[in-house]
Amino acid sequence: MKSVTIALGCSIQLLSLATLIQAFAPQTNNNAIMTTHHYHQQSTQIKQSTQIKQYTTQQRTQQTTTTQLYSLKPAALPLMDSGKALARSGELLIDLTSKLDLYGGGLSAAGANIRNCGDCLAQAGASARMKTATELVIDELREGSDCLREGTDKLSRAVEESEVDGNTVLKDKIGKMIVPMKQASLWLEEVGASILQKESLDVIAGHLISTGEALLLLSMTVEVLDEESDDGKLSAQRMVYASEQMILAGKELKGEKKDKPKGKSWIKG
């Protein structure tokens, strides 16, 4: 009987010791494990979502940049040719004023403004070929517009000078140059503004074509300044070519297809 009591006491002590060990032993927290697992899942999802957003933003940026960088490239060469021809036209107009004994006056200054505008257009055309030169193109177009706007003021001064000299014929001829030059200035400014505002290519092309048409009207007034002078005729011819290339720049920007030569007209010589 005594041995049974001792065994029972030992069992009770062992149970008590096991209870104490279990009480002080670190317990597995299922809720903590679930929370940690859920946290890792959320972190992974957030990282994946962030990567997707970054890729989408980068892709959109690349598409937008590509549109801005390459949209003007088709108009680059004709715009550059237009600028070179217009600059030459202005130089010839200055030479004409020397023969008319008007060098240094308002008409001569207007010729210098036309030449400077041509230089700006040529630079804009050259910049349009590069990938990151959109801002340069806008600046050159606006500078060219300012040159023509200043040229209209010089023409108004030339009209006053002709009136003082009593040359009413020349006064009327110079006066007819003011409106088309002002129109060319306004349309050229619209080209730069349209590019800055990221308007459609059709809108930008339309402004280029309108600028070319205004230059064509201006060339007609230059041609009649002195019908006997070769410089006047050459100045008008170069301005006509400048207008044609400006219109071509607009058509190229629109993506209009060129008319293919018919028959054997493609054969040179």
- What average pLDDT does range 28-36 have in this prediction? 50
Q: Is residue 44 one of the residues assigned to a domain?
A: no
Q: Is residue 88 one of the residues assigned to a domain?
A: yes
Q: Is residue 36 one of the residues assigned to a domain?
A: no
Instruction: Show the domain range for 191.
Output: 70-253
CA–CA dist 177, 222 (Å, integer): 7
Q: Is residue 65 one of the residues assigned to a domain?
A: no
Q: How many domains does the chain have?
A: 1
Q: Residue 104: its pLDDT value, please? A: 86
Q: Is residue 58 one of the residues assigned to a domain?
A: no
Q: Is residue 54 one of the residues assigned to a domain?
A: no
Task: Name the residue with higher pLDDT: 52 or 16.
Answer: 16
The model's pTM is 0.71
- Per-residue pLDDT of 108-130, as tens digits, reads 999 999 999 999 999 999 999 88
Query: Which range (45-49, 52-56, 235-239) has the least confidence?
Result: 52-56
Q: Residue 257: its pLDDT value, please? A: 66
Q: Is residue 227 one of the residues assigned to a domain?
A: yes
- Per-residue pLDDT of 206-225, as tens digits, reads 999 999 999 999 999 999 99
CA–CA dist 29, 24 (Å, integer): 14
Q: Residue 68: its pLDDT value, please? A: 46
Answer whether residue 145 shows pLDDT above 90. yes
Q: Could you tell me the two tokens for 71?
A: 């949209």
Answer whether residue 66 shows pLDDT above 50. no
Q: Is residue 167 one of the residues assigned to a domain?
A: yes
